[in-house]
Amino acid sequence: MAAGHSPMAQFEVHRLIPLEIGGVDISFTNASLWMALAVAAGCTFLVASVRRDGIIPGRMQSVVELMYDFIERQTVFNVMGESGKKFFPFIFSLFIFIFFTNFLGLIPYSFTVTSHIIVTFAMALSVFVLVLIVGFWTHGLHFFSLFVPSGAPLWIMPLIVPIEIISFLSRPISLSVRLAANMLAGHTMLKVFAGFIVTMLGAGGVLSVLSIAPLLAGVAVTALEVLVAAIQAWVFALLTCIYLNEAVHLHEH
Amino acid sequence: MVTNQTGDSDDPDKRHLDDLGRRIDAVRALRPEAKPAQPSGRLNVVYRLSTEFVAAVFVGLALGWGFDYVTGLKPLGIIAFSMLGIAAAFYSVVRAMRQLNAEQDKEGI
């Protein structure tokens, strides 16, 4: 059983409820299931924990308040100042969704939605489109001055403007690749170490005794993955703030 | 009777709470606001910079390919835009570095 299991098998998408409308496959897959579970878990966690809204918070309420504060003050306000207030709901929802998909993915036999680049790319693209909308909404065509760095000599412009445009277009890609690659690499590593344990135990003799090594490595990687799951959710939120901040304030710092 | 701006000075719970608030404020005034450490480890920085780099090169190549496809100037677009892409990659990495440094300065690390 273990021999036939590739470390990549955990990332396969299966149809749970096959659906097709107008020739478009919109089946409810295991990815959809875990996304729905992440939304449900996130909402339950946030709502249930602050349901009793004590003035002196309990344990769960403290956790929620810390998360809220971490995103609201330490991240959104820190980067965007007052103008970040209207984007806070979006950024916090994004953070909670990624946070919960990452953490649910750590449960054995679950599915890590964020390891699929199309999911993270959809989120990054929505951030990109929001940046464009906000930029053109607040500055009109003056938004294009984002591609013209202030203080650069005029003769260098034909070179620097395309570079700025490429750098701007690469944002949704780097944003999505970063999250998906982190998740993919971490979970593959976990599965590989787990596979080593089984193979070495099965080999017998000295190897069975040595199988403690991949076990310890697996435990360490699991701990690292918990850290990565939280950090990557935060990095996604932070970079969203940085990009939105540029769209709102252009070059002023 | 003690004057209280928020009223309700008769309510013992309220007075208790105001007292607690005052004591918390007093303690807060004694020390600078503690900020939670931001998780910006080395590995995180490596990931951030490398994806920034790869993405810019990739976009340069994609634009060059699209340019060739539209204009028919087969190798020229890919050559020119991949060079621009690499330049943009270095540029993005430098900018990301600057942002990271600015964050650290803000944190006072």
CA distance B90 to chain A (A): 10
A34 located within any domain: yes
Question: Do B96 and B50 sit in the same domain of this protein?
Answer: yes
B108 touches chain A (CB under 8 A): no
Establish if B74 belongs to a structural domain.
yes
Residue A191 lies in a domain: yes
The pLDDT confidence band at residue A1, using thresholds 50, 70 and 90, is: very low
- Residue A28 is classified by DSSP as E
In whole angstroms, give the CA distance from residue A216 to residue A234: 28
pLDDT of A92: 94
Query: What's residue A3's pLDDT?
Result: 45
pLDDT tens digits, one per residue of A2-50: 445 677 788 888 888 888 888 888 888 889 999 999 999 999 999 988 8
- Domain identity same for B15 and B54: no
* Total of domains in chain A: 1
Angle, helices A157-203 vs B74-107, to 10°: value is: 80
pLDDT of A230 strictly over 60: yes
Question: Do B47 and B97 belong together in one domain?
Answer: yes
Quote the radius of gyration of chain A (alpha carbons, Å). 22
Which one of A159, A162, A178 has the shortest CB-CB distance to B47?
A178
In this structure, are B19 and B47 located in the same domain?
A: no
Closest CA–CA distance from residue A170 to any residue of chain B (Å): 5
- Residue B106 contacts by C-beta under 8 Å, 6 or more apart in sequence? A78
Is 60 exceeded by the pLDDT of residue B40?
no
Query: Does B95 score more than 50 pLDDT?
Result: yes
- Please give the pLDDT value at position A118: 92
CA distance B58 to chain A (A): 8
Q: Quick check: A67 pLDDT over 80?
A: yes
Q: Could you tell me if B101 lies within 8 Å of chain A, comparing CB atoms?
A: no
Asked if the structure places residue B96 within a domain, the reply is: yes
Residues of chain B positioned with their CB less than 8 A from the CB of A234: 39
The pLDDT assigned to A121 comes to 95
Residues B7 and B55 in one domain: no
Q: Which residue in the set A78, A167, A242 is minimally distant from B88, CB to CB?
A: A167
Contact B41 A231 (CB under 8 A): yes
Confirm whether A4 is domain-assigned: no
Q: B85 and A166 in contact by Cβ < 8 A?
A: yes
Same domain, B57 and B82: yes
Spatial contact of B49 and B71, defined as CB atoms under 8 Å apart: no
Going by pLDDT thresholds of 50, 70 and 90, the confidence category of residue A176 is very high
- Alpha-carbon span B45 to B104, nearest angstrom: 12
**What is the C-alpha separation between A42 and A173, in angstroms, rounded?**
26
Instruction: Mark A178-216 as b/e (b = at least 16 C-beta within 10 Å).
Output: bbbbbbbebbbbbbebbbbbeebbeeeeeeeeebeebbe
Torsion of CA A32, A38, A41, A47, to 10 degrees: -110
What pLDDT is stored for residue B34 in this prediction?
46
Mean of the per-residue pLDDT values for chain A? 87
Compare CB distances from A166 to B35, B51, B60 and report the shortest one's residue.
B60
Q: Is the pLDDT of residue B5 over 80?
A: no
pLDDT (0 to 100) of residue B36: 44
What is the model's pLDDT at position A210? 86
Q: How far is A131 from chain B (nearest CA, A)?
A: 18
Beta pairing class for A15-17 and A28-29: antiparallel
Residue B108: inside a domain: no
Residue A76 structure tokens = 């959104």
Kindly state whether residues B96 and B75 are assigned to the same domain: yes
Note whether residue A2 is domain-resident: no
User: HSE of B99 in the Cβ direction (CA atoms, 13 Å)?
Assistant: 21
Q: How confident is the model at residue A88 (pLDDT cuts 50, 70, 90)?
A: very high
Residue among A166, A169, A178 minimizing CB distance to B51 = A178
Q: What is the CA radius of gyration of chain B?
A: 28
B24 and B46 share one domain: no
Distance from CA of B60 to the nearest CA of A (A): 6
Read off the pLDDT band of A251 (50, 70, 90): low
CB contact under 8 A, A167 and B91: yes
**pLDDT classification of B9: cutoffs 50, 70, 90:** low
Label residue A175 exposed, middle or buried (CB < 10 Å: 0-12, 13-18, 19+). Answer: buried
Range of the domain at B88: 42-102
Q: Which chain B residues have a beta carbon less than 8 Å from that of A163?
A: 84, 87-88, 91
pLDDT in the model for residue B102: 76
Partners of residue A68 in chain B, C-beta under 8 Å: none
Residue B1 — very low, low, confident or very high, per pLDDT cuts 50/70/90?
very low
Q: Give how many domains chain B has, as a whole number.
A: 2
Judgement on whether residues B61 and B86 belong to the same structural domain of the protein? yes
Average pLDDT over residues B53-77: 89
Domain that holds residue A59: 9-249
Cβ-proximal residues to A46 (8 Å cutoff; 6+ apart), any chain: A64, A96
Residue B65 burial (C-beta neighbours within 10 Å; 0-12, 13-18, 19+)? middle
Map residue A15 onto helix, strand or coil.
strand
Contacts of A173 in chain B (CB under 8 A): 55, 58-59
Per-residue pLDDT tens digits for A150-174: 777 888 888 888 888 998 999 999 9
pLDDT of residue B32: 53
Chain A touched by B47 (CB under 8 Å): yes
* Backbone phi and psi for residue A148, each to the nearest 5 degrees, phi listed first: -115, 100
Cα–Cα distance list, A253 to A9, A75, A216, B79 (Å) = 47, 17, 47, 35
The contacts of residue A173 (CB under 8 Å, 6+ apart) are A121, A124, B55, B58, B59
Task: Please identify among residues 6-25 of chain B the ones whose CB lies closer than 8 Å to any CB of chain A.
Answer: 17
* Phi (first) and psi of residue A27, to 5 degrees: -55, 145
Identify the band that residue B108 occupies on the pLDDT scale cut at 50, 70 and 90: low
* A and B: number of Cβ contacts within 8 A: 67
CA torsion B101→A128→A186→A10, rounded to 10°?
180
Identify the sign of the CA torsion A112, A116, A121, A126.
negative
Q: At residue A168, what are phi and psi to the nearest 5 degrees?
A: -70, -45
Q: Is residue B59 part of a domain?
A: yes
